[in-house]
Structure 1
Amino acid sequence: MRILGIDPGLRNLGWGVIDTDGNRMSHVANGVCHGDGDTLSERLLAIHKALTAVFALYEPDAAAIEQTFVNKDGAGTLKLGQARGVALLVPAQAGLPVGEYAPNTIKKTVVGVGHADKRQVDHMVRLQLPGARIESPDAADALAIALCHAYLGRSGDRLAHAVGRAMVGEARVKRGVA
């Protein structure tokens, strides 16, 4: 399975692509989509075009994105939310499922500590994806998001499958089939 991780940002949107095969994960590519332009709409359009090109080039099977947290700067949070909306739109246009993870969940999954700093995240991503040449801290964060989805998304898929089997079994019991 090929997973694209997205670290939303209005000026710099990080992205990272990994391949998974069972428990094995490998680095494919990473980079940054730059929100160039003088106006908000120009920056959002630039991010959309660049992320759409990443999707076309790497053809991921799934995508994952960091959830937005609200901080003291309401206007900044709103702008980040708009960039995140574009980042959600692109995989939706491709018909892909999107996993959404809180920043602390990503850090705890990849680093082992929910309040890890950027250096720790970068270090652990490099350990888990040997040989990866990481373009920027935003790209490292995006790779961490992809890794988080690889770890947690699989368990979520197994849980959904188990719940589905249980519901089928319950329906059979109610019908007197089982």
Structure 2
Amino acid sequence: MPRILGIDPGSTITGFAVIESGAQPHAIVIDCIRLPRTDFPSRLGLIFEGLREVIERYQPDEMAIEDVFVSRNAASALKLGQARGAAICAGAARGLPVSEYTPTQIKQAIVGRGHADKTQIQHMVKVLLGVKDALQADAADAAGVAICHIHHARTASRMRVAANTTGRRA
């Protein structure tokens, strides 16, 4: 059963989750890297190092990350993009295949509609993974990214099987 590292990147809090896929996906870890109020380049380094440690400890097979959404605040969007870059580099440096999903794709996979709010994501992640404890929003979002990846991978697999079927009966 492949392990998926889901990432919700942020310049102050980066959520991460390692989810083991299977008939019923289950969480190995769902948590956050909380970054100190320090200079921005140092925070990027902490994201990279923190995720390298997560990868080393939990040995995921693949990585999925939330794509940058277009923001009205260009400076915030740039910082988010740089945080994503630090996270992607941590996975790429360990040879993990990296998949990217938009917020709408993630919400659609978790809640069934592309405009769900954070509380709906938190609730559905808990239901889908059988988690009893409260989840921090960024950690739940990271788990949602991993679940989205699992759903997309399963769909792609089914489509490959269907494409290889001739439709003739023996």
For the criterion TM > 0.5, the same-fold answer is: yes
Matched position secondary structure for 2:19: strand
Higher mean alpha-carbon deviation, 127-136 vs 138-147, is at 127-136
Please tell me the root mean square deviation across aligned C-alpha atoms, in Å. Answer: 1.8
Deviations 1:60-109 (A, max 9, x none): 01110000011110011001100000111111111111111010110011
Deviations 1:13-60 (A, max 9, x none): 000111112x32111111111232521111101111111111111000
Alignment-mate amino acid for residue 106 of structure 2: I
What is the CA distance between 1:161 and its match in structure 2?
7.3
State, as a whole percentage, how many aligned pairs show the same letter: 41
1:20–1:26 CA contact under 8 A, matched in 2:
yes
Matched position secondary structure for 2:84: helix
Higher mean alpha-carbon deviation, 149-158 vs 113-122, is at 149-158
Partner of 1:95: 95
In 2, the alpha carbon distance for the partners of 1:149 and 1:132 equals 22
1:34–1:46 CA contact under 8 A, matched in 2:
no
In 2, the alpha carbon distance for the partners of 1:134 and 1:44 equals 27
CA gap of 1:136–1:27, structure 2 versus 1, over 3 A, is same
Partner of 1:18: 19
2:64–2:98 CA contact under 8 A, matched in 1:
yes
Partner of 2:152: 152
Partner of 1:136: 136
Stretches of structure 2 lacking an aligned partner (at least 5 in a row): 166-170
In 2, the alpha carbon distance for the partners of 1:98 and 1:161 equals 23
In 2, the alpha carbon distance for the partners of 1:72 and 1:90 equals 28
Alignment-mate amino acid for residue 91 of structure 1: G
Does residue 1:106 correspond to 2:106, yes or no?
yes
In 1, the alpha carbon distance for the partners of 2:9 and 2:122 equals 17
1:44–1:83 CA contact under 8 A, matched in 2:
yes
Task: Trace 1:60-71 onto structure 2 (pairs within 5 A).
Answer: 60-71=60-71
Deviations 1:125-150 (A, max 9, x none): 01101135354110000000000001
Stretches of structure 1 lacking an aligned partner (at least 5 in a row): 167-178
TM-score, normalised to structure 1, is 0.85
Partner of 2:4: 3
Does residue 1:44 correspond to 2:56, yes or no?
no
Select the structure of larger CA radius of gyration: 1
